Amino acid sequence: MLEYLYKITSDMFKLSLQKFTIQEMTHQDMWILVVDLAMHYIMFMLPLFATVVLSTIIVFQWQIGGFHFSLQPMQPDINRFNPITGMKKIFGKEAVAELIKSICKLLILGYFPYSLIVSEYPKICTMYEYTLGQSLEYISWLIVKLIIQIAIVLIIYGFADLTWLRYKRHQDLMMTKEEVKQERKQSDGDPMIKAKIRQKQKELAQKQMMGNVPKADVVITNPTHFAVALRFKAGEDKAPVVLAKGQDLVALKIKEIAKESGVFMFEDKELARTLYANVQVDQMIPDSLFAAVAKVLAYVYKKTGKVKT
């Protein structure tokens, strides 16, 4: 974008210098100048902001695994007005950790412009000997150098932060010490302890499974006893993949989440029962079910207007 940005900057200089030829600057002349400079500034910043916004959206969608729309966060919740909960978020461990990360990032990023100015200070002091073109060329070189340095640091920081967040998420899903103790007591043969551990594991698995429902292309229902959520990404999945499945109450919960997230639901009693019985979560459907599922997906894409290859 340098050539484009250089042209706009040059036009702004020319526009400003031309106004010096006016002997008496009226309010109207000043207003026209301000508007013209503002439009040039917008044209200067627009491609930069567009690049940043587009990059942010792409990276964010890559991190969360795709785009899904839900009105659930907009629903009223009285707990959001709880001052105690708010104070915990401000002064909790997570908030302190984020504060420390932000301070470290600020210190690291602040070092580069400081070191650049210190190293180039002798040359900056002699810029009055340069022509305007030489000065702009030198300043442009300084800016590009600073941008490259900061970009390299931010890329490294971004990958480190992403790795840490995924590790932390994995740790959060792990069982607590108390749950591990209960698991070790299985050797005692207490059926109540075994039942509690199995229930906790089942809840954790269901929680993770329910989070995948908004990513599905279709939920095939029984309609009341079974529900199976399927996803198919062209070029990534060799065959449709089961993201979630459930029976009775779990099936109702899957359908509820699918409805909130705008996932299409298709009623096929036999197919839903067969998928539930023969395919595990995160597994591809067998060859014997290709034709039946392909018909459903084709119908869904036609109804929703999606195009899949």
Q: Residue 268's pLDDT is what?
A: 87
Q: Residue 94's pLDDT is what?
A: 75
| Gap between the Cα atoms of 189 and 81, Å rounded | 46
Q: Residue 307's pLDDT is what?
A: 53
Q: Residue 222's pLDDT is what?
A: 81
| Gap between the Cα atoms of 118 and 283, Å rounded | 58
Contact between residue 292 and residue 266 where contact means Cβ atoms under 8 Å apart? no
Q: Residue 209's pLDDT is what?
A: 78
Q: Residue 42's pLDDT is what?
A: 92
| Gap between the Cα atoms of 101 and 152, Å rounded | 17
In this predicted model, what pLDDT tens digit does every residue of 66-105 receive, in sequence order? 666 667 767 777 766 667 666 666 667 777 888 888 888 8
Three-state SS letters, 202-246: HHHHHHHHHCCHHHCCEEEECCCCEEEEEECCCCCCCCCEEEEEE
| Gap between the Cα atoms of 238 and 93, Å rounded | 43
- Structural domain spans, the chain: 1-56, 86-176, 206-304
Q: Residue 75's pLDDT is what?
A: 75
Distance between alpha carbon 61 and the CA centroid of its chain, in Å?
4
Q: Residue 309's pLDDT is what?
A: 45
The CATH number, out of the four listed (3.40.1690.10, 3.20.20.60, 3.40.50.720, 2.70.70.10), of the domain defined by the range 206-304: 3.40.1690.10
Residues of the chain scoring pLDDT < 70: 63-70, 73, 79-82, 84-91, 175, 179-180, 182-195, 197, 201, 203-205, 306-309
Q: Dihedrals φ, ψ of 31, to 5°?
A: -65, -45
| Gap between the Cα atoms of 40 and 8, Å rounded | 6
Q: Residue 127's pLDDT is what?
A: 85
